[in-house]
Amino acid sequence: MLASAGAALALGGAGAAVGAALAARDDGLSPSRAAADRPCDRPYVEVLAAPPAPKSERRLVQVGEVEQPTALVFRDAVSGDGLLASRTGQVHPVIDGDIVDEVVLDLSDDTIDEGDGGLLALAYDPEGNWLFAYRTTAEQDEELTAYPLDAAGLPNVDGERLILAVDHPPSEQHHGGAFGFGPDGYLYLGLGDGGGLGDPGENAQDPGTLLGKVIRIDPTPEAPEPYAVPADNPFVGRDGWRPEIWALGVRNPFRLSFDAGTGDLWLADVGQSCWEELNRLPAGIGGQNLGWDVREGNHRFEGGQPTGGETQEPELTYAHRRGWCAIAVGPVEADGGVLHTDYCSGRLMVLQPGGTGRAPRLLDTGVRLQRPVAVVAGPGGEPWVLSLEGGVYRVEG
């Protein structure tokens, strides 16, 4: 997910100084210095200097606990019924906002929960007939599978359909996990660059691989072919390009969300040595090159020129300073603010869009989270937050 190492999951290699124990691990989630030759000594957005959000009455309320929760989806915005995934590969039902101990889908036999791997994301299809799951297999490859839902909204494992399989290098790092259906009804999926410091396979800028990309497909689990490629994908018909690609140049895109008002796609990409970034892709417009590994955030990394697509700067960058290390984006609220969190700082933040250079505001919730990995939209408009330590929280107020 973000990055990783043993207990560290999703971050894909973030910042530089979260302690000697983490810094000693070169495992993706843990902060890694691609070296003393790439110091974080350039100007950066000072997140901690931003004033607290005025809604200081908002608070985090723990509603349950499971082993390493990574993904939560609700069937509708009212009932509170849904499904909660554990990194280990197990899925639990959520009934009227309560987490049930029962396991209704168990993929643990073919799910690796090391490094950045695991059962990373869930999504309901727009019609509510299928559950889609994205995970890292025991062979460290990526698989997207679909399961028909019964009348109670529970997945039928016997009806499993493999939608997409992507070979991943033998690395625990950078398995992505940004995942969800957009307002257009298509499925968007962010895939990591394959792992290793500095994208050694040069995958993120390679148009012939899905690694290091955001893809857009039309799943068809009941049809002979498991998915179709939308005809208006930006690189359809271009020689040497995978037609599934929607955007390229990402390192470890761990979470995404859609603005229900505008349809814009918000994508968080976990950085390596110095910089975290949050990207805004306008509704219905693909073809962006987000820069990795030519740059990290909006700063030079290896240099050179992107291989194609329209180069786009991130909406927000912040540095790996003072214990910040890896970003995960959440839902867009009614006022347009984009909720997000940081795996190492444990803080919730909100960014008001309006151009680069703006700093997010910290939400004063009274709780410092331990390894938050997801912020999701819940019933009634109240966000829920998942901590890899096991806690499941609701944001109230």
Over residues 84-125, the pLDDT tens digits come to 999 999 999 999 999 999 999 999 999 999 999 999 999 999
Q: What is the pLDDT of residues 117-174, one digit of tens each?
A: 999 999 999 999 999 999 999 999 999 999 999 999 999 999 999 999 999 998 999 9
Q: Which residue, among 86, 63, 1, has the nearest Cα to 367 in the 3D structure?
A: 63
- Put the strands of the sheet holding 383-387 in their side by side order: 59-65, 391-396, 383-387, 372-377
Q: Can you tell me the distance from the alpha carbon of 63 to that of 393, in angstroms, rounded to the nearest whole number?
A: 5
Backbone phi and psi for residue 25, each to the nearest 5 degrees, phi listed first: -95, 130
pTM over 0.85: yes
Q: Give the Cα separation of 175 and 154 in Å (integer).
A: 26
What's the pLDDT score for residue 244?
Answer: 98
CATH of 20-34+47-396, picked from 3.90.960.10, 2.40.128.690, 2.170.130.10, 2.120.10.30, is: 2.120.10.30
User: Please, what's the largest Cα pairwise distance for the chain?
Assistant: 58
pLDDT at 319: 87
Q: What does the domain layout of the chain look like in residue ranges?
A: 20-34+47-396
Above pLDDT 70, what percent of the chain? Answer: 84
Whether the per-residue pLDDT at 362 is higher than 50: the answer is yes
Contact residues for 101 (Cβ-Cβ < 8 A; gap 6+): 92
Q: In the numeric block, which tokens belong to residue 386?
A: 């998942």
pLDDT category of residue 340 using cuts at 50, 70 and 90: very high
Going by pLDDT thresholds of 50, 70 and 90, the confidence category of residue 9 is low
- E-strand ranges in 182-301 read 187-190, 213-219, 227-228, 245-248, 253-258, 265-269, 275-281, 288-289, 295-296, 299-300
Strands 361-362 and 275-281: unpaired
β-pair partners for 247: 214, 288
